[in-house]
Structures are given as structure tokens and as C-alpha cells.
């Protein structure tokens, strides 16, 4: 068969994630593989000591150029297993825990209207049960409509920027929920809150996997991340309680540690997290 008859497969380049650590075992600093058994007391290259150069060298020229322009990137970097574990631990502290807290707030925001219904919520807003059900329908419809577009924007604009904006936005709307007085305002708040929250769950899942964790690490982090729903359900009722004898629209209030308007405390906390992110 002549070379002209053969169809060339499209060229694809592996990423750093595609290079398995075990593939680098028994490798010297020069990048050559050593077939001799190493000293059992010395760190094993590729097992206890890792090199960035072999993985970097098989990337495309375009990717290599992009990485070289990244501040702090060193293609000659070496690191040990202990350093690798320490970096993962610091990533859990600085990334996973804040994302977990943000998702707890998201779950609380979605459920707090149900806790408010246990008081004089309908009477204070002069609405019926059907009006309340319609507000829930509007919120769920907003999630369905804006979920995919929101995550497309997160990928194009950068998740670190776009997701922070979402947290700030729905935190501000959550603050406004404490001041609603009629059906129209309720509908508007539920629409906006769920519109901004729609892309948060998948967006942060993408953020964790694409930016911070390797394939062998991400499953455990996803388990912690999604457990925020269960944690929020466990504490949501307690946070909505009001020990005061006053019955003046207590659904607007949350006690942590002093009285705040309902939704106001959650909103302030979200705004702070969004600014930190």
C-alpha cells in the first residue's frame, strides 16, 4: 500500500493527566530509563521522586509554549511523594473546604423557603398556597433553563471568575429575600436566586477536576463536595429556628448569633465567600 493511500490519523497530544506516575519508574534525572535495580534504601524515581520533564516533553509545541508562559511553571521541576501529599492537603484546605461551604449555602438557599412556610409566610405576603407552589415551579424551571448556558459561560470566561460572580449575585438576591412583601417580589427573587445557582453545582465540579485534582483523587473530593447537600439538610431546620417569643414575621429572621432578617445572614455569608473566591 502506497503512502498516498494511507489516511493519517489526526494527531492528538496527551495532557499532563494522561501520563501515569508509574510510567516514570526507574528513570534518571537525564530522562533516560535505567534497567538496573536501584538501591532499596534510596527514593525510587517515579514512585518516591517525580519528574515533570518526561511528561512535559511529549506535549505539543503549542501546549508547551502556553505552559512556559505560565508564571511559576518549571519544566525541570522534581518533587517527592511527601511533597505531593502536602500539596494535595493544602489544596483540600484552600479549595475544597471553601467550595464545600459555598455549596452548603446553596443548598440552604434552596430549602429555606420551605422552612419559612412553617410560619405566617403566606399570610404576611398575602399569597395563597398555589402562589407559593408557582414560586417553586419558577425556581426549578430557572435551574433547568440556565444550567447548561451557565456552565458554557463558566468554561469560556474562566470558572475562577464566573463562579465567584455567581456566588456574589445569588448572595445579594438572598439578602433581598428578607425584604419581600408581595407575590411579584417572591417570584422575582426565586427566579434570580435559582438562575444564578443553576451553574454552581456542575461548575464547581468542573472547577475541581479541571484545575486542581488528578483522576485518582477527584472521586473522593466529589464525595465530600456533594455531601454538602446532606449537611445542609441536617442543619437547615436548626438555623431557621427562632427562640424569641415575638411572632412578628419570624420567617424573616435567623439567629446566628444575633437576629438578622430571614435570608440576610445567608446572603452576607455568601457575599463574603464570593469575594474570597
Residue of 232, 213, 3, 237 lying closest to 101 (CA atoms) = 232
The Cα-based distances of 276 to 168, 235, 267 in angstroms read 10, 24, 14
**If DSSP codes are grouped into helix, strand and coil, which group holds residue 273?**
helix
| Residue in this structure with the C-alpha cell 420551605, named with its chain if needed | 114
d(CA 274, CA 258): 23
The fraction of the chain above a pLDDT of 70, given in percent, is 63
b/e string for 106-133 if b means 16 or more Cβ within 10 A?
A: bbbbbbbbebbeebebeebbebeeeebe
**If DSSP codes are grouped into helix, strand and coil, which group holds residue 93?**
helix
Mean pLDDT (whole number) for 65-71: 78
Query: Using N-to-C axis directions, what is the helix angle for 159-177 and 183-197, rounded to 10°?
Result: 160
Query: Using N-to-C axis directions, what is the helix angle for 183-197 and 97-116, rounded to 10°?
Result: 160
d(CA 113, CA 93): 31
Position 267 pLDDT exceeds 60: no
Assess contact for 25 and 45: CB atoms under 8 A. yes
Residue 246 backbone class (left: φ over 0; alpha: ψ -120 to 50; beta: rest): beta
For the stretch 171-222, pLDDT in tens is: 888 877 777 788 888 899 889 988 988 888 888 888 888 788 888 888 898 9
pLDDT at 48: 61
Residue of 141, 142, 228, 124 lying closest to 178 (CA atoms) = 124
Mean pLDDT of the chain, nearest integer: 70
Position 3 pLDDT exceeds 50: no
pLDDT at 49: 65
Mean pLDDT (whole number) for 14-33: 42
Task: Cite the beta strand spans of the chain per DSSP E.
Answer: 49-51, 78-80, 253-255, 259-261
What counts of helices (H) and strands (E) characterise the chain? 12, 4
Kindly give the residue spans of alpha helices, DSSP state H, lying in 31-158.
53-57, 61-68, 81-91, 97-116, 121-125, 129-157
| Residue in this structure with the C-alpha cell 493544602, named with its chain if needed | 90
For the stretch 115-173, pLDDT in tens is: 677 667 777 778 888 988 898 899 889 989 998 998 888 888 888 888 888 888 888 88
Position 232 pLDDT exceeds 50: yes
Torsion of CA 119, 120, 125, 126, to 10 degrees: 140
pLDDT at 137: 92
Terminal Cα-to-Cα distance of the chain (whole angstroms) = 58
User: Hey, what domains does the chain have and what are their CATH numbers?
Assistant: 16-76 (no CATH), 83-276 (1.20.1250.20)
Position 16 pLDDT exceeds 50: no
Amino acid at each position: 500500500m502506497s503512502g498516498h493511500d494511507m489516511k493519517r490519523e489526526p494527531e492528538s497530544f496527551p495532557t499532563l493527566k494522561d501520563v501515569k506516575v508509574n510510567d516514570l519508574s526507574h528513570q534518571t534525572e537525564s530522562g533516560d530509563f535505567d534497567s538496573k535495580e536501584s538501591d532499596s534504601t534510596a527514593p525510587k524515581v517515579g514512585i518516591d521522586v517525580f519528574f515533570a520533564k518526561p511528561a512535559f516533553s511529549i506535549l505539543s509545541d503549542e501546549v508547551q509554549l502556553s505552559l512556559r508562559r505560565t508564571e511559576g511553571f518549571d519544566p525541570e521541576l522534581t518533587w517527592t511523594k511527601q511533597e505531593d501529599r502536602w500539596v494535595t492537603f493544602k489544596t483540600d484546605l484552600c479549595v475544597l473546604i471553601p467550595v464545600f461551604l459555598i455549596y452548603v449555602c446553596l443548598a440552604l438557599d434552596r430549602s429555606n423557603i420551605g422552612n419559612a412556610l412553617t410560619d405566617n409566610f403566606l399570610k404576611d405576603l398575602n399569597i395563597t398556597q398555589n402562589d407559593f407552589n408557582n414560586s417553586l415551579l419558577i425556581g426549578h424551571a430557572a435551574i433547568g433553563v440556565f444550567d447548561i448556558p451557565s456552565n458554557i459561560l463558566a468554561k469560556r470566561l474562566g470558572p475562577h471568575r464566573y463562579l465567584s460572580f455567581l456566588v456574589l449575585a445569588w448572595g445579594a438576591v438572598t439578602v433581598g429575600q428578607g425584604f419581600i412583601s408581595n407575590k411579584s417580589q417572591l417570584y422575582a427573587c426565586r427566579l434570580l436566586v435559582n438562575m444564578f445557582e443553576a451553574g454552581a453545582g456542575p461548575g464547581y465540579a468542573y472547577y475541581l477536576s479541571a484545575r486542581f485534582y488528578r483522576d485518582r483523587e477527584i472521586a473522593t473530593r466529589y464525595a465530600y463536595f456533594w455531601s454538602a447537600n446532606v449537611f445542609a439538610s441536617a442543619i437547615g431546620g436548626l438555623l431557621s429556628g427562632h427562640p424569641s417569643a415575638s411572632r412578628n414575621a419570624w420567617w424573616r429572621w435567623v439567629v446566628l448569633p444575633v437576629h438578622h432578617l430571614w435570608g440576610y445572614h445567608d446572603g452576607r455569608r455568601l457575599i463574603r465567600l464570593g469575594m474570597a473566591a
